[in-house]
Structure 1
Amino acid sequence: MNKDLETIDFSGDFPGLSYQIDGEPVFYLDNAATTLKPKAMVDAVNEYYLGVSSNVHRGKSYALEMVSNRYEEARYKVADLLSCSGNEIVFLRNTTESINLVAKGLQLDKSDKVIVFSDAHHSNLLPWMNEASIECVRTNPQGGLDLEHYYELLKSQPKVVSINHCSNVTGGYCPLESMVRAAKDVGAIVVVDAAQSVPHRRVNVSELDIDFLTFSAHKMLGPTGVGVLFGKKAMLESLTPQLLGGGMVDWVEKDHFNLRKIPHRFEAGTPHIAGAYGMAAAIDYLNQIGFDNLEHHDRQTSEYMLSLAKKREFLEIINTDESADRGAVLSMSIRGQKELDDVARALSDSYGIICRTGHLCAQPYVSDVGVGQVLRISSYFYNKRTDIDRFFDALDEISTYMFY
């Protein structure tokens, strides 16, 4: 039975929920960009920095082995989260670096075709555009993906299909299982940008037969500067490392060197050790809440957000498909208004509401379906319906004096 997260007060765990500016409370609705941080995660980061903060995997000492073990324990917690092996998890800076590593490491050229998606984040578009020839799955009239077009493009037998599991613009989830299966049937390498989905839902990479998947810790309670690349063992071994230096080699002579085994050959230099501590603590926190509860709350909040937006005729919702599988991310434009920076500033300065405006690092998609900038709100499990009410009530007031 799902736990009703709406009834739980998380403010004791998240100092940011009680934050004030000029004595007024802050309402944080920009979780698709990055989440607030629990004290348990910060404590884990501090444990590294305030202890014997040695390096990892270099030399022999008790302190170094202790820190190295904690670093590798974090790797195995991520592996357990994704249902894969520990040596299939690479620690990098973020989702962006991970996709760049795969795009460059596969040694593609312009004769190789990569299928990408109209609603992709720039991080899942530009690396492929730079390394290969891309074909983009178009959207349907409601703003969702045109799946018939996707299956049509697969007939050209692309080298890579790079799927964004959940849109950072609309919160729409794609039917990942069937899309991966279809891509594998034509022999494509499947890459999944799961930056917006892993914080809310379990993704079993083994059952789905995904080749590569990536996400960032900071979107799921963790610290900035640490991200995850999952790759099947054989696929990781096929990649060419893009950074060379300390920590990623077993032996170096004047005229050659031997790479370390995966995953360490991709982790050149001193890694974000404290970040690994923090990410492990964040995963522990989410596991305690339960991913079934996280997913249920995400769906319920999404329905509530959409229902309130539809009641306001001055709003144009990006992706109006009510049957879509959606998370708690909603983007909208204001009829007749191409620039919305002043709206975001008014929401922040007058109402304490932090949200996002602009093209959301998905400019081709927003340009195709919108009329300029969009306004996005995105919720996480610690947000309440009253936060959503606060946003729409504020937007109603702003619309009366700014636009009418």
Structure 2
Amino acid sequence: MINNIFKEQDFIKDFPALSKMIDGTKVTYLDNAATTLKPVSMVNAVNEYYLGISTNVHRGKSYSLEEVSNRYEQCRYAVAELLSCSGNEVVFTRNTTEGVNLVANGLEFDEGDKILVSSDSHHSNFLPWMRQAQLLTVRTRNDGSLDLDHYYELLQLNPKLVAINHCSNVTGVYQPIEPMLRAAKEVGAITFVDAAQSIPHRRVNVTQLEVDFLTFSAHKMLGPTGIGILFGRQAMLNNLQPLNLGGGMVNWVEKDSYDLRKIPHRHEAGTPHIAGAYGLSAAIEYIQNLGLEAMESHDKSMGQHMLDLALERDYLRVINSAPNLDRGAVLSFQIPGLSELDDIARILSDSYGIICRNGHLCAQPYVDEHSEGQVLRISAYVYNSEKDVSRFFSCLDELQGVMF
């Protein structure tokens, strides 16, 4: 049993979704790697903007506009404090995917340039690079773990950019990014980290990492959908071509020229998700009140509990069950003999109230390599307990005797 750091009753009042029912059965939410539930304080912050004088930001002069603009920029500095970086190194995006695309399209790639990625990457950290240059893909071992020896071998081919997946959305395994980034810098590569699955669970200090760019989304860390973050070193953001052109990112425009604003605003064309920034600020405050160290400890304990229970069942095959890895509360497995798991996921939801995920998890090359078809994924967050995970496996045991 896990010595729970967080108690379920502590979250009931903050997360109304925890009391929801499906056909008379209380919901057990285990799809947090896709998106987390939302606390009341975050929703209230979003409503504060929409129900107030919801002006735009940085356009015109009025008391209300300056008040809203200040709140918007306060969010930027809350993110900067979270990452231990400067405020002008924080760019607001729509999500992690846009953060990757902003960098992939803003850098200049020449014919013959190489980009190094791992084969367990999310499609968002795979497809944008595929369009720009030749991909060097780090292979995985038979058990699904990343072949780090192969990673260091591929670095000798001098890739222009190395895009590291900090934590897999399939396995919950964290990569040792400090030495990986350091080695990439030693061969002169630009370094990029997809932190969508790590920032919600543990502290990531970018000043201690040799990382040029890092991106993540608010909705995976108790925040609203539609807003994400791209961190970039000042020099890198200054040299990055803006993905979008339009209002808000220029100082002035003439008929045949324009002058870009300073970073980060040159990368934020158009009206931003202002309410989202209010919500992200509230989500960060909630997380900081819980304590990132406690959240990381809970994440690791839950991840180990998931793995232990899965390995007890011989009708499951875990994707990357390698021992002694740094893993969080994300676990995927296949059911040998079943290539499609839609019916299993639907019954878990409709009959047991358990919400999880099935499919290829937007990581199809990796899942196809290590599974006969679809996989089933469970993923926990701070409001989940070992009882939620144990209930999931008990329900799966019941289905095992009937459906497979």
**What is the match of residue 250 of structure 2?**
249
Q: How many residues align?
A: 402
1:259-270 equivalences under 5 Å are: 259-270=260-271
Give matches, 1:368-379, under 5 Å.
368-379=369-380
- Residue equivalent to 1:341: 342
Alignment deviations for residues 34-88 of structure 1 (CA, whole Å, 9 cap, x no partner): 0000000000000000000000000000000000000000000000000000000
For residues 209-245 of structure 1, give each alpha carbon's deviation from its aligned partner in whole angstroms, at most 9, with x where no partner exists: 2100000000000000000000000000111012111
What pairs up with 1:125-204 in 2 under 5 angstroms?
125-204=126-205
Within 1, Cα distance between the matches of 2:212 and 2:4?
Answer: 33
- Contact 1:248–1:264 at 8 Å: present in 2 too? yes
**TM superposition shift of 1:143:** 0.7
Instruction: Classify 1:187/1:386 alpha carbon distance in 2 versus 1 (closer, same or farther; 3 Å).
Output: same
Q: Is it true that 1:309 corresponds to 2:310 in the alignment?
A: yes
Asked if 1:89 corresponds to 2:90, the answer is yes
Matched-pair contact (CA < 8 Å) for 1:13–1:40: yes
**SS of residue matched to 2:129:** helix
What's the counterpart of residue 72 of structure 1?
Answer: 73
Distance in 2 between residues matched to 1:10 and 1:316, nearest whole Å: 33
One-letter code aligned to 1:176? I
* Equivalence for 1:13: 14
Between the aligned partners of 1:228 and 1:318, the Cα distance in structure 2 is: 29
Match of residue 391 from structure 2:
390
Letter in 2 for 1:107: E
Give the deviation of 1:9 after TM superposition: 2.5
Q: Is the 8 A contact 1:35 1:219 kept in 2?
A: yes
**Per-residue displacement from partner, 1:281-334 (whole Å, max 9, x unpaired)?**
000000000000000000000111100000100000000112111000000001
Q: Which residue of 2 aligns with 1:399?
A: 400
| Aligned AA (1:172) | V
Q: 5 Å matches for 1:264-303? A: 264-303=265-304
Residue 108 of structure 1: how far off its partner (Å): 1.5
How far off is 1:132 after superposition? 0.9
> CA RMSD of the aligned region, Å?
1.0
* Aligned residue runs from structure 1 range 35-74, under 5 A: 35-74=36-75
TM-score for the superposition, normalised by structure 2: 0.98
Q: Report what 1:331 is aligned to.
A: 332
- C-alpha displacement at 1:7, in angstroms? 6.2
3-state SS, counterpart of residue 170 of structure 2: coil
Q: Deviations over 1:171-217 (max 9, x none)?
A: 00000101010001111000000000000011011111210000000
- How much does 1:3 deviate? 8.0
Residue of structure 2 equivalent to 1:30? 31
Q: Which residue of 2 aligns with 1:351?
A: 352
Distance across 1 between alignment mates of 2:8 and 2:353: 23
Asked if 1 retains the 8 angstrom alpha-carbon contact of 2:358 and 2:374, the reply is yes
User: What is the alpha-carbon distance in structure 1 between the residues aligned to residue 33 and residue 78 of structure 2?
Assistant: 23
Q: Distance in 2 between matches of 1:216 and 1:268?
A: 18
Quick one: distance in 1 between partners of 2:168 and 2:8?
28
SS at structure 2 position matched to 1:36: coil
SS of alignment partner, residue 11 of structure 2 = coil
C-alpha separation in 1, matches of 2:312 and 2:97: 37
Query: SS of the counterpart of 1:214?
Result: strand
8 Å CA contact retained: 1:3, 1:293: no
State the distance in 1 between where 2:89 and 2:123 align: 25
Per-residue CA deviation, residues 256-287 of structure 1 (Å, 9 max, x unaligned), is 00000000011100000000000000000000
- 1:69 counterpart letter in structure 2: N
Which residue identity does 1:13 align to in structure 2? D
Question: Partner amino acid for 1:40?
Answer: S
TM-score (norm 1): 0.98
Report SS of the residue matched to 2:376.
strand
C-alpha distance in 1 between matches for 2:189 and 2:228: 24
Give ranges in structure 2 of 5+ residues lacking alignment: none
State the Cα distance separating 1:142 from its structure 2 match: 1.6
Q: Tell me how far apart the structure 2 counterparts of residues 234 and 9 of structure 1 sit (CA, whole Å).
A: 44
8 Å Cα contact 2:4/2:385 also seen in 1? no
Identity over the aligned pairs, expressed in percent? Answer: 66
Unmatched 5+ residue regions in structure 1? none
Residue 131 of structure 1 aligns to a residue whose secondary structure is coil
Q: Tell me the distance in 1 between the aligned counterparts of 2:34 and 2:63.
A: 39
CA distance in 1, matches of 2:149, 2:271: 46
2:381 is matched with which residue?
380
CA distance in 1, matches of 2:214, 2:159: 18
What CA deviation, in whole Å up to 9, does each residue of 1:149-177 have, x standing for no partner?
00000001110000010000000000010
Q: Is the 8 A contact 1:331 1:377 kept in 2?
A: yes
